[in-house]
Amino acid sequence: MNFFQKAVSKVLGHNNLEGSPAVHHFRFKSQALDREVVYDAYLPASYDPTTGQQYPLVLFNDGQDLPRMHFANVLEKLETDKKIPPFIAIGIYTSERRIREYGTARQADYKGRGDLAPKYTHFIVEELMPHLREQFSVSLLAKDTAFAGFSLGGLSAMDIAWAHPEVFGAAGVFSGSHWWRSSAVRPDDPDADRIMHDIVQKVTKFDKNQRFWFQCGTLDEEEDRNNNGIIDSIDDTLDLIRALHEKGIPEKNIRYLEIENGRHEPGTWREAMPDFLWWLLAKK
């Protein structure tokens, strides 16, 4: 039994989880989404809600992919090596409506995808976060709370965190879908109409203390719509970072990790995960 299994055993009142998964599944009924949402809770060995200690909280979109990344093993090694302090991770499973619920809350993309993103944002901020704060002993401070995700789930996490700095002090984006557009690619201006970039550029109220972590792989894709020799996923991410800097987000609050030969898949995201968690949680 590893220490994550022991922690889950303790909080759920079980005496023996030998051979069981290192994480326990929970189900939560969302009124906003009108469906049941499954999430996994990853708890540190030290977790004991009776002590009054409040733990940092990290949410992950596409939580169903965390087991494919051997996420519990990554956490165990980081904590055993004392690379990071104890924290609670929540992996939120998506559904068959992923392409509709993820995206940007301000608007759907030009094909109508992401039309349920406003409801998903409401679910995260108004339903799930209060539920997690009641269910687990987590910090109530934004600086101790982060939202991360993979691909389109990364775009969703970025959008929600940027819009709610009072809830999330940081965002983590693995191979983010920052190509999300309000119109089809225009040959005369192929980088125009990217929704997340436009949101960052036009917003007037934001928190310069927010922190942002981005990762791309050099083999994330092959598309290069502006023919500058750089794949779109890297171009879009670097352009978004420039937009954040232009808004006044200091350089120390942004980290970009580029993985040579990294692909758009859980194996690469697992490779990047220790960097993200160390950057997010370790005391500098």
Question: What string of DSSP letters covers the chain?
Answer: --HHHHHHHHHHT-S--TTS-SSEEEEEEETTTTEEEEEEEE--TT--TTS---B-EEEESSGGGTGGGTHHHHHHHHHHTTSS---EEEEE---TTHHHHSS-SS---TTSTTTTHHHHHHIIIIIIHHHHHHHS-B---GGGEEEEEETHHHHHHHHHHHH-TTT-SEEEEES--TT-BSSPPBTTBTTTTBHHHHHHHH-----TT-EEEEEEEEES----TT-SSS-HHHHHHHHHHHHHHHHT--GGGEEEEEEEEEESSHHHHHHHHHHHHHHHHS--
The pLDDT-based confidence of 168 (bands split at 50, 70, 90) is very high
Evaluate if residue 65 carries a pLDDT over 90. Answer: yes
pLDDT tops 70 at residue 4: no
The answer, yes or no, to whether residue 257 has pLDDT greater than 50, is yes
- Confidence at residue 284, expressed as pLDDT on a 0 to 100 scale: 52
Complete domains list, the chain, with CATH: 3-281 (3.40.50.1820)
User: What was the pLDDT predicted at 191?
Assistant: 96
